[in-house]
Every structure is written in C-alpha cells, then in structure tokens.
Amino acid sequence: MELKKLDGSFSVCKVVDYSMVNLNSTYCFIGKTDEENSLVCLQEEVPENTIEREDHWKAFRIQGILDFSLIGILSEISTLLAKNSIGIFAISTYNTDYILMKEEQFENAVRILAEAGYRIL
C-alpha cells in the first residue's frame, strides 16, 4: 500500500461558520454537527473567525481509490502508530483516508510505516 506525504502544515480548527473558509484550497475538510463547525486546512489558511485551533499537523494520504468493501486499512495504520505512542487525527473522504499527526511525530511515523511495508511517496 502506498502513502503519500502531503506538503504543508495543517491546522485543526473550530470555526463560527464556514463563511471565511477558502473552499477552493487544495485541502479543506469540514465537518458540521449539532455541536460544532470543524475545519482542517493548511495552517496559513486558517480563517479569522476561528474559535479554537491546534496547529502543527503533518499529513499523508492513502494513495488510490479505496473500495468501500475494504476493511481494516485505517485500523491497521492507527494500531501500528498507537503501539509506538503516535496519536493520529484521521479524515475519510469518498475516495480515501488522510492521516494527520503532530509534526514532531511525523518522521518517526513515516519510518515505522515504511518498516512495516508501506511504500512512502
């Protein structure tokens, strides 16, 4: 399985609303519930109406389009990283999964995943 390292640093945010979010950005993940408006975006694109934010996340993407019948891909990666005390923030899209971790843990995570047989791009 191939994992692609993504350029840039990401922020995980809580925003008032999505009116100031750059929806044309390369990466923009939004999640809305009855309790919050969440946003994950490039750190330099955090909107002014952010209430809370956590900066300095790095990310990689599972390459390719994952069929919905595939089971355990994210679980396998998260378990491997958890065994090495690396916390993750996972985002799933229609096509694939994105896995974020704090910048200071990223290179160690990449090494661990490569040693486990993942191809890192």
Whole-number Å distance between alpha carbons of 29 and 111: 26
Task: Please tell me the distance from the alpha carbon of residue 47 to that of residue 21, in angstroms, as a whole number.
Answer: 6
Question: Residue 40 in contact with residue 23, Cβ under 8 Å?
Answer: no
pLDDT at residue 46 in the model: 98
Whole-number pLDDT of residue 1: 85
Instruction: For residue range 73-121, list pLDDT tens digits in order.
Output: 788 999 999 999 999 999 999 888 999 999 999 999 999 999 999 999 9
Whether 112 contacts 86, CB under 8 Å: yes
pLDDT in tens, 22-45: 999 999 999 999 999 999 999 999
Q: Which domains does the chain have, with CATH numbers?
A: 1-118 (3.30.2130.10)
